[in-house]
Amino acid sequence: MDQQDRIIRLGVAGATGRLGRAVMALAADEVGLDAMPLAIRGRGTSDATPANAIDVILDVSSDRGCRRAIEVADAQRVPIVIGTPGLQPETLAAADRLSRRVAVMIAPNLSRGAAVMRRLAALAARLAPSEWSFDLVETHRHGKRDAPSGTALAIVEETVGPDGRSRLRDAVASIRTGEVVGEHRLRMTAWGEELVIEHRALDRSVFARGGLDAARWILAAPPGRHRFESMIAAALDEDQGSDPAGT
């Protein structure tokens, strides 16, 4: 069978959760992809597919489910995309150990638009004058447990100023209300002017799409830790290096 015609067997950890259901629904219409609930034991997971029947894992479960998914990835030597936010230090440590043997991507936000926002936030932190104030407001559905969100924490890490410190330290607010899928609003203010970078996820399917794209991408990645941005970095860097005016 030609490599392009090969069916990718995707094990989804957390297939019965909000995002997991969106992943399964979207994958059902994907050519060349066979998505199935990953057979892991633990709250919020399901026993369905033998672990040795998969090529790659997409984890959108919980901290506990993620640890089990990491164990399965290690036992089967398959790459894993971790889209679960708010992971505990011991889970992150397990992912680091796994990355010595297989490709591991930790992506608390699987949206391409959010990835672009993080790149823009990093650029703004370097370019904005030191007297400018930075603040970030993130809004998610009522009941989301982690606050600030994983994406907000990633933006904090990205917005490092010339002094080597985040320009968002102690300036992040979290709102939990309604059924908001995800909003992040970075505001930079100075006397007489304001600059805003904002991303809104309007439908949960954007994360499902990003997860499926990442699962395909990581199959060809070498062992090690990979970021979601790595998947789109080449295109972003090419755009930044182009000169439409030809000057």
Give tens-digit pLDDT for 13-62: 999 998 999 999 999 998 899 999 987 654 434 444 555 589 999 999 99
Report the alpha-carbon distance of residue 47 to residue 36 in Å, rounded: 10
The reply to whether 243 falls in a domain is: no
| CATH code of the domain in which 161 resides | 3.30.360.10
Report the alpha-carbon distance of residue 182 to residue 234 in Å, rounded: 26
Catalytic annotation on 140? Answer: yes
Query: Of 142, 144, 199, 226, which is the active-site residue?
Result: 144
CA angle (142 as vertex; 137, 143 as ends), nearest 5: 115
Task: Please check whether residues 186 and 134 belong to one and the same domain.
Answer: yes
Q: What is the pTM of this model?
A: 0.80
Task: Please check whether residues 71 and 124 belong to one and the same domain.
Answer: no
**Residue type for position 107:** A
Catalytic annotation on 226? Answer: no
Query: Of 140, 184, 199, 226, which is the active-site residue?
Result: 140
Domain coverage including residue 212 = 3-106+204-237
Alpha helix (H) residue ranges in 28-143: 63-76, 89-98, 112-127
Report the alpha-carbon distance of residue 92 to residue 246 in Å, rounded: 45
**Closest-CA residue to 116 (of 247, 2, 228):** 228
Q: What's the structural domain count of the chain?
A: 2
Give tens-digit pLDDT for 84-134: 988 899 999 999 999 999 999 999 889 999 999 998 999 999 999 989 999
